[in-house]
Amino acid sequence: MELEELKNIWTSVDERLKKQEILKESIIKEMNCRKTNKSLNTLQWSEFIAIPILLAVISLIVYRYGQFGGISRVWDISVLLSLIICLVLLPYILYKAYLLMKVDLSGNIKNNLVYFNKFAIIVKKERIVFWRFFLPFCAILPIPMLIETKISIALWTTYICLVFFGVLFGYWSYKKIYNKNIQIIKKSLEELKELEEE
């Protein structure tokens, strides 16, 4: 074999290796994008579902206050505090949904990381507030009203079940929806960033 033939073979092998590397990178990008989109959709749906639920709760609070407002001071204070909490939560949830909608995998990865990291930090703080303040507040707030109105054992049982459901739902949503999907998206975005920089 002549030197020229060896150079041609080497060039051909080198080109094939480059093509395989490009193909491998595109497959990794495609898999990461699919995984990220799936997790991103899960998080977006959880925020989008929360908006109509919160609006329904606000409507119910206003309706019940119209029916039973003025019965007792404890009832009025409890209902108004609940309404204020819901009204504060609405723009907060809208902001979280906005951050998730700004993540665009066809766009700049660094911008996506910035928006998603903001979302992840907010969720981390939200989890702390939920467990330390919100859930205890929601569990304790109705107790004076329930004692004052002398409700039946059945209603006490319902109330305890609702508090227990709130604890289970909070644990499940933060563990299975938020934590899991946030980790998947962060890892995928970091990998995409590394591939982009190579």
- pLDDT, tens digit, for every residue of 30-53? 777 788 888 888 999 989 999 999
With a cut of 80, say whether residue 174 has pLDDT above it.
yes
Secondary element (H or E) of residue 143: helix 142-149
Would the pTM count as exceeding 0.85? Answer: no
With a cut of 70, say whether residue 14 has pLDDT above it.
no
Read off the pLDDT of residues 55-96 as tens digits, 9 standing for 90 and up. 998 998 888 777 766 667 767 777 788 889 889 999 999 999
Report pLDDT for 2: 64
What's the CA gap between 19 and 48, in Å, rounded?
Answer: 42
At 144, list the tokens. 């004076």
At 147, list the tokens. 């004692």
CB 87 within 8 A of CB 74: no
At 160, the amino acid letter reads I
With a cut of 70, say whether residue 166 has pLDDT above it.
yes
Give me the residue label for tokens 């507040």: 137
The dihedral over CA atoms of 133, 124, 55, 39, expressed in degrees to the nearest 10, equals -150
